[in-house]
Structure 1
Amino acid sequence: MRSAAGEERAIRQPTDMCVPRIMEFRDSQYLFMIELKDIEKLAELSRINVSGEEKQAFLKDIESILNYVDQIKTVAGEADMTMSRQETELANVFREDKDCRDLGRFTEALIESAPEKENGYIKVKKIL
């Protein structure tokens, strides 16, 4: 594929995308790992220049984020397993719906106070 400037550009394939790989499956959890080439790919896609030191720092940060998310998933899974039916049983605490208005109470007084009326309705000017 050629760009507007006439230079040759490679078409990216779906396998060329940056995706964390599954390192191993342990205790019903997937452990993800990210590599330096993934950081380089992210920098390229973001169109930012990243030095070698920054790449290492980003690698450590992203790994700690992935580990933190894994811990949250583990705790959330344990919490779901410990809940009993009694804790999750819900009951309706709302009042029963009923019409508490006194319909027609002010209708006659309102119609009588209108300047023009016709067949029990308030007559207004046509707007359309």
Structure 2
Amino acid sequence: MFVLIRDIITETAILGRLCFCGRVICNTLENRSKAIPCGMYAVLNSMSPKFKRELPLIWNEGVSASRGIRIHRGNSAKDSKGCILVGMGRDVKKSLITESALAETMVTMLCRGVSQLIIENESMH
């Protein structure tokens, strides 16, 4: 199971850390105005019609799979229309994550064996 802990909120983004087996494996970034609700989500890799590659798709009873929320590469809030971006590094002052292609590949591979994602808020500032 993955756990995404949101820990920083900026004017445009919500930054967090994605954990697997209790360890932080990468950073996350969501568009603040389009962030999905906290909760438990199902995770399943599938071919993304938009990105034309295998990516994790997440959904639950409140957020349908047809909404197309993916975990994918990107560096800033403008790269997300409601999806979760992943990156190996982050710059909180600039609301950016870095090395996102590497993080996407790793998370996509891990999601072949993971079926749940929990999203929760840490005390954000």
Query: Shorter chain as normaliser: what TM range?
Result: under 0.3
Which structure exhibits the higher relative contact order, with contacts defined as CA atoms closer than 8 Å and separated by 6 or more residues? 2
Give the structure with higher Rg (CA).
Answer: 1
- TM score, norm. by length of structure 1: 0.26
Which has a greater percent of helix?
1
Which has a greater percent of strand?
2
- TM score, norm. by length of structure 2: 0.27
